[in-house]
Structure 1
Amino acid sequence: MARYFGIDLAWGLGRTDPRTGRVRPPNETGLCLLDATGRILDAGWARGVDAVHDFIAAHEQPGDVIAIDAPLIVPNPTGMRAAEREVASRYGRWKVAANASNAGSAARAGELLLAALEPRGIRYTDGTGPPLAGTTVAFECYPYTTLVGVAELGYDDERPRYKRLIPGIDRADARARRAAACDDLIARLSRLGPSTPPLDLRSHPATRALVDEPSPITDAAYKHREELLDSVICAWTAALWHANGPERTQVLGADTGEVDARGRRATIVAPARPEQRRAAEDESG
């Protein structure tokens, strides 16, 4: 039976300060492994592509599904990928948009991770069809599209503001509001137990702490929590796609996405309500 990896990958690779020679490590990556019953088998954090690869290698079995929040196929030399533009056109009403990625960016961790996984037989999928039996596949996802794209979570009007601080208000107030939004999101996720697919946040100590402990106010501690939370959302997205395919998800860039030299199309697998799909976009346009 397939299991589901969620990887909230830090895009950057770390860097060396040219003045001091001090090496700054990559930011943390959140990691989650979910089974088909909703039980979280493992969860935590890692730094760097090698450590993330090692986490996957330690657990992966043929037929698993890996959802990665990072650009995986980036053939475009400049600008924004078609799938990223479609995030804004399909989900903009919910105040969701994507950052641009291109070959000129130094943030290449997703591409490097995908290349590192290939010798294990793990294959990239653009999400337009089911995986071959016994083949582990990896696709690109974007947690915000999951949060507003599934009715169960109740974000009917706009995305939750659990990431960046609200501009233009006192920073202490902004941090408190961010923490409250995160706690509300966790409470909503904790009610997915009877959903299809299910999710049990209390089934692993690291994710149980998300439920039992309030979100911190300080930036570093908050970011640590956010990375783990997003990895859980990625893992649940993998389960949703695997169980329901086009019934519950759409593939952004499926027709217009850039294609690399190996014929792989740059796409984002995104949960979707009917009003977020192409037909609704065409009618409104």
Structure 2
Amino acid sequence: MALERFIGIDLAWALGGGRARPNETGVAVIDARGEVIDCGWTRGVDETADRIASVAGDGSSSLAFVDAPLVVDNPSGQRPCEREVGRRYGRWKVSANSTNLASPRAAGVLLLERLRSAGWRYDDGRGGPPGDGGALSECYPYTTLVGAPELGYPLQRPTYKRRPASVPTARWRAVRAQVCDELIARLAALATADPPLRLTSHPVARRLLDEPTPEAAGAYKHREDLIDALLCAWTASLWARHGLTRCQVLGPGESDLRVPGADVATIIAPARTEQRRDDTRR
């Protein structure tokens, strides 16, 4: 069955525990016409998996992209796909956090296990977009922002998350809110892109346009999680529509040591020509 539903998950990496609740996870679902079918927030791996099941039906026409490490098998340091983010997108001030078996933030690994038990499968993308649904892949919204020309960031990522040294701490929240509003306007312009994203098609997504970005930290993070989920969903749609002509698969090169038959950790990333990895390292 053709892919018709694209799910984006901005997963809270930490699991919580004790008295601490997991941070919010943003979830967004769009169809091939760019209509937002569902968007909102969950907490914890179980609630997120249940939300995915509720919006994906039997999963046969759904593709999910997750902003979180799904496959982690390196004892220390960075995964090869994380190193590749810095190599390919570092010029645009995009790099990735390090994840390894000693990392406490394992929510993505657990989400993959939970969804596998429900019939989903992991897809590393090295063979191009899957021919049918029920597949789960890893993405990174920052690479979408600088790798998709439609979003208009040809020089560097927008500073909607981390404070640059040039912005005084006292001004940071106001500057961040302004940059976030500019990003939302660019997302709204994807309504005429190929593939499209129509923020006005769902009341929760539409509020991103109707209400100014709050400066308070908690309210800001609440909004940011939804933005990243929408970016993940659109990236899944872009991958399904254009495959390797618009995206690249970041991960181990042929010379890297691999365990036969094991999952390969990759990040599927939109890419401009100048961001693409050497063909000899595919």
For Structure 1 versus Structure 2, the TM-score category normalised by the shorter chain is over 0.9
Partners of 1:152 and 1:258 in 2: CA distance: 36
The aligned counterpart of 2:274 is 275
Q: Which deviations, in whole Å up to 9, do the C-alpha atoms of 1:186-236 show, x marking residues without a partner?
A: 101100111111000111111101111111101110000000000000000
The aligned counterpart of 2:12 is 10
The aligned counterpart of 1:125 is 123
Select the residue among 46, 51, 54 that pairs with 1:58. Answer: 54
The aligned counterpart of 1:113 is 111
Q: Does the aligned pair in 1 maintain the 2:159–2:176 contact within 8 Å?
A: yes
The unaligned stretches of length 5 or more in structure 1 are 17-22
Q: Which deviations, in whole Å up to 9, do the C-alpha atoms of 1:63-102 show, x marking residues without a partner?
A: 3100000000000011101110010110001000000000
Select the residue among 235, 249, 252 that pairs with 1:251. Answer: 249
Identity, in percent, stands at: 51
Residues 1:113 and 1:258: Cα distance change in structure 2 (over 3 Å): farther
Letter in 1 for 2:175: R
2:125 match: secondary structure: coil
Q: Which piece of structure 1 moves more, 168-177 or 31-40? A: 168-177
Please give the root-mean-square deviation of Cα atoms over the aligned residues, in Å.
1.8
Partners of 2:144 and 2:182 in 1: CA distance: 16
Partners of 1:63 and 1:50 in 2: CA distance: 22
Select the residue among 2, 23, 30 that pairs with 2:26. Answer: 30
Once the two structures are superposed, the pairs formed by residues 79-94 of structure 1 within 5 Å of their partners are 79-94=77-92
- Tell me by how many angstroms 1:167 deviates: 3.8
2:50 match: secondary structure: helix
1:278 match: secondary structure: coil
Residues 1:136 and 1:109: Cα distance change in structure 2 (over 3 Å): same
Q: Does the aligned pair in 1 maintain the 2:129–2:243 contact within 8 Å?
A: no
2:189 match: secondary structure: coil
- Tell me by how many angstroms 1:121 deviates: 1.6
Partners of 1:55 and 1:259 in 2: CA distance: 33
Partners of 1:259 and 1:114 in 2: CA distance: 20
Partners of 2:10 and 2:23 in 1: CA distance: 11
- Tell me by how many angstroms 1:135 deviates: 3.5
Partners of 1:281 and 1:171 in 2: CA distance: 44
1:266 aligns with 2:269: no
Residues 1:259 and 1:57: Cα distance change in structure 2 (over 3 Å): farther
- Tell me by how many angstroms 1:132 deviates: 5.1
Q: Does the aligned pair in 2 maintain the 1:49–1:109 contact within 8 Å?
A: yes
Letter in 1 for 2:12: A
The unaligned stretches of length 5 or more in structure 2 are none
**Count of residues paired in the alignment:** 276
Select the residue among 231, 234, 254 that pairs with 1:233. Answer: 231
Q: Does the aligned pair in 2 maintain the 1:121–1:135 contact within 8 Å?
A: no
